[in-house]
Structure 1
């Protein structure tokens, strides 16, 4: 030992390095010789043929060539490398001979053992394709997990394999180095791909009709794991225009950006990861729709590839007509001027697939005058006439023109509006009639409406104010005439207090209220259909206040006619004054007092005639005065 150290310190190495019979080898923990070392794997170095006694054999595990040879600290021959790279191992040993010490060096590659990267593609007929995605190792083996022999593979290569039965399998890929025993292992589970059923295009919908338009396919009977190529008829064959990938469910919708200005056929076809295609779907044609407006009509024309089935013409979401699949035009005459309509054509094939065109909006026009409107007139609560115009079905008015006739005179224009209702704020209610025309969306003027005359009401007091006679004009304008008239008595808030129905045009109210100064009447006319009503103007009758004054009274305390008091109706207050023969006021009182008891300043006055004056006031502030004599009897 001492002799060896002395020799090393003297750097006597050069002669032994030149001798070819001096060598050493690396061994793993299983005693196998290795040429490539692995990170984290313990190796042992040993001279070739075990010529050197262990105590005379030393190793430097990371020696830099050309540098001084260090003095070994121990005879340890095992080492574990933690970092990949190239390492020069130096052996210092006494092989015998003319020199006491020999040195031999050798370079070893230390490599990591990363997890191999690979992908699995499933193909039809229980086949898989395994692609090695790295080149970290010199070679790879693939165990397909079915108990069969493993398959060797090269870096960045693809291997195809077919299983005998359908099922789930665990594929193991092992990467290894030539001359090394360390290896990287990775596993993945795969379910073999079942056969692809024939797909079905259930719907084709054109979302945008344009040279760079858009359509949508609704697909059914898909098999997850397959891709689906979308093909379009180009005039001679079907060509692929898109591929649907990452299918995860049996049905889906897929959009295409294509030229949709013509009717073209489409189909889809399943394809597996190995490039094998299978039975294609049904073919379905897009529909290109065009709409044009004529005088009072709209014409539709469309283009589609031939198929067996029917076409549905849809307007504003409602089916108008069902036509044979050989039809390519349709004329809609049930249109109104100026109105925009949305059309689509739906092709329904015998196999249940449906093709829908893009929506086309067309505005109708016409030069034909529209039919006459229907007119209804009524007085409102302000005694203004409200004229309501009902347009013919499907028409829209951009202007309403109103004409008025007063008490049978000529019709004269009084105004216009962009609405279908007009209010005539006539200053004083009187018997009037109206007619209207309207300008439709195409600026065509209608013929005149029916003449409509609202009921006009008049009232007159009779029998000294104890009755009111109502007379009114018959309503004109209901198509079936008037079923009945109803006399309504209203309060100041226009609530109905009482009503009487009758067939004539006169009514006498003899049940006048003792509490209401004003009586407010109006007439409701009901049409023959029983639902439409119209109202007359409101008339107000002012009732006269009434005073009842006795001719005399007897203040003798018998409880009968002991005071001079005023009775009556429809007054709110009164003031009573009594005078003696000299003209002096001997009594003054109001409705709140008990009346005059025939005394003055507490003293009884003699029997005789006395003059009185009464001033009464009603609820509207109207006053009424009355004078006379009252006889005091004793």
Structure 2
């Protein structure tokens, strides 16, 4: 044995003796006419010959049995296809040789054999594929009706076997998509990959079968056109299933719409959509059709401007239960029947842009909604003559309110007073404070004209002349007050059952009504019982009926009666209980100052309230007979200053 080891060591250190004719600096020359069997590659673990190497699985090289056993055999592995060692010699290893591949690819196994040291060697080689054996990367999709779909990968194996649960493996080709029944109790799928020319390179992987939730029938609740896009809103779609949007062709056949996109569990979008009937088909990875929804049709609305109207037409294959039409987002109170396909909106103003949307309701939860379409109304004919209403406010300003049919906010209004232009404005209400004289002959008449946004002008409205009220006291003290007024003109024509009604209103200082008096249109009335506690009595005339949209009020007419103070010429502060104090009497004594001074001009008494009286004392001294001067000053309700003077004498 020591001799054999020494010989082997000598041979390994003497490559020149093994390859005397080759040398070190060139590629190994291949010997022609190789034998039928040169050498074999044996799997170390199983002891079987292999034609394909496996990454990580050890093999050994051995000459075929037909070769001369007395020859010396050595081997070298070179990466690549048909790549020979260069230089030839230094890395050959005497048989037996083992090799463990580390990566997939192609290798060339080169054999060097020679009869004896110094003899000419033979060089033979074989090319082998080295294959990896990863776990198969397959996918599993559970389906309804007890099925499962398995998608087998295309590489690296040349064949696969699929096992459902503990069932028998079933062969499957690479890239195959196969549907299998799921036996009762099976919860996983195992896929094993193999190579046809080497069953030792194999591996498997297992994935669970996640069952699908029970499929809820899909329902389209709303279909809305948004430009060229159709938006579908549905009941909640069951997760794990595929949903296909289909459109009905002219032949009555439903075809899938490939561009449809599912946005969420309740929303799908169809870009560049065509009008028509749509439905939703539910499928899984095994079955193309499980359930379909009831179809729902798009609603295609068109709008065109005509003379003072916007003409709406729409296309809808099915009659709904009802319609809802909106203008500028607000529903229009119009009764459309299910069979209607057109509507003329006459409540439009020229030059104004409107937006329309139509909703077809099939039930409380199923609707089809059109796109929102804008249109600008047009006209060439004059607009309707506006109606004018006039009344006075509590500040005696004339308030003018214009109403133009079909034109609630647009266009320009020109308000006139006695044919004189007051203002041009888009406002439907204006106030005129230019009237300062309120006599019967000064009653103004107002008119208004309208120009729409297309430049069409209306006729002037009929004149509206609000009533004017006057008031004057009939005597010095104002015990009775005479009132007069002009008749209101310009109301709609009275009917036999509805004519103008006049009512005279007596006002409190806070403008609430103290008393109302029905009067006629004769224009005169005497108030014989004006309020006794008001210095200034204020009146207002209210006119109603005959088609007036609201009461029309006259100006507020007022009468300011005199403030009067009554001071006695003498009093006797002797304690007998008669005429012991000086007190002020009179009417309308609300805000005043009463002052008493002695003959030296010194103030001896002052009061601002009628309850304050003077007992004749001067700086707490007992009353002394004599004369005193008094002064009374007040501001009345009209803002005028009233001054009275006199003397008073203290008697014993």
- TM over 0.5, shorter chain: yes
Return the offset for 1:218.
5.8
Q: Alpha carbons of 1:192 and 1:554: their partners in 2 closer, same or farther (altered >3 Å)?
A: closer
Return the offset for 1:28.
3.7
> The residue matched to 2:555 in structure 1 has which SS?
coil
Asked if the contact 1:598/1:632 (under 8 Å) is kept, the reply is no
Asked if the contact 1:545/1:571 (under 8 Å) is kept, the reply is no
Query: What is residue 214 of structure 1 aligned with on the other side?
Result: 229
Provide the aligned length of Structure 1 versus Structure 2: 592
Write out aligned runs for 1:145-294 (5 A).
Answer: 147-154=167-174, 157-158=175-176, 160-161=178-179, 163=181, 170-177=188-195, 178-179=197-198, 181-188=200-207, 205-208=224-227, 213-216=228-231, 225-226=241-242, 228=244, 230-231=246-247, 233=249, 242-243=257-258, 252-258=267-273, 288-294=300-306
Structure 2: where are the runs of 5+ without partners? 22-29, 80-84, 492-497, 520-524
> The residue matched to 1:3 in structure 2 has which SS?
helix
Asked if the contact 1:230/1:242 (under 8 Å) is kept, the reply is yes
Query: What is residue 370 of structure 1 aligned with on the other side?
Result: 384
Asked if the contact 2:55/2:102 (under 8 Å) is kept, the reply is yes
Write out aligned runs for 1:552-567 (5 A).
Answer: 552-554=570-572, 556=574, 561=579
Return the offset for 1:387.
2.0
Write out aligned runs for 1:11-90 (5 A).
Answer: 11=15, 12-14=17-19, 23=39, 25-43=41-59, 66=87, 68-69=89-90, 80-85=100-105
Return the offset for 1:279.
9.8
CA distance in 1, matches of 2:553, 2:109: 120
CA distance in 2, matches of 1:150, 1:281: 37
Return the offset for 1:150.
1.9
1:90-145 Cα distance to aligned partner (Å, 9 max, x none): 8999x9x8569999987665432233344567899977775544432343334455
Asked if the contact 1:460/1:470 (under 8 Å) is kept, the reply is yes
Query: What is residue 13 of structure 2 aligned with on the other side?
Result: 9
1:404-452 Cα distance to aligned partner (Å, 9 max, x none): 46xxxxx655444321212111352414243433416363425634734
Q: Alpha carbons of 1:576 and 1:398: their partners in 2 closer, same or farther (altered >3 Å)?
A: same
CA distance in 2, matches of 1:428, 1:106: 127
1:7-54 Cα distance to aligned partner (Å, 9 max, x none): 32222434999897985643243444444333333456667679999x
Asked if the contact 2:469/2:485 (under 8 Å) is kept, the reply is yes
Asked if the contact 2:40/2:49 (under 8 Å) is kept, the reply is no
> The residue matched to 2:8 in structure 1 has which SS?
helix
> The residue matched to 2:11 in structure 1 has which SS?
helix
Q: Alpha carbons of 1:304 and 1:386: their partners in 2 closer, same or farther (altered >3 Å)?
A: closer
CA distance in 2, matches of 1:247, 1:395: 44
Q: Quick check: 1:547 aligned with 2:565? A: yes
> The residue matched to 1:367 in structure 2 has which SS?
coil
1:332 to 329, 332, 344: 344
Asked if the contact 2:416/2:447 (under 8 Å) is kept, the reply is yes
Per mean C-alpha deviation after superposition, the further-off stretch among 29-38 and 418-427 is 29-38
Q: Alpha carbons of 1:358 and 1:510: their partners in 2 closer, same or farther (altered >3 Å)?
A: closer
CA distance in 1, matches of 2:620, 2:187: 131
Q: Quick check: 1:512 aligned with 2:532? A: yes
1:476 to 468, 485, 488: 488
1:140 to 160, 175, 178: 160
Query: What is residue 582 of structure 1 aligned with on the other side?
Result: none
CA distance in 2, matches of 1:292, 1:498: 54
Q: Alpha carbons of 1:508 and 1:29: their partners in 2 closer, same or farther (altered >3 Å)?
A: farther
Query: What is residue 616 of structure 1 aligned with on the other side?
Result: 632
1:323-380 Cα distance to aligned partner (Å, 9 max, x none): 575x76x453753443665556667899x98765544445264736525525141233
> The residue matched to 2:12 in structure 1 has which SS?
helix
Q: TM-score, normalised by structure 2?
A: 0.68
> Greater share of strand residues, 1 or 2?
1
Return the offset for 1:70.
6.3
Query: What is residue 439 of structure 1 aligned with on the other side?
Result: 450
Q: Alpha carbons of 1:109 and 1:571: their partners in 2 closer, same or farther (altered >3 Å)?
A: closer
Asked if the contact 1:397/1:439 (under 8 Å) is kept, the reply is no
CA distance in 2, matches of 1:475, 1:43: 127
Asked if the contact 1:489/1:522 (under 8 Å) is kept, the reply is no
Asked if the contact 1:546/1:571 (under 8 Å) is kept, the reply is no
Q: Quick check: 1:425 aligned with 2:438? A: no
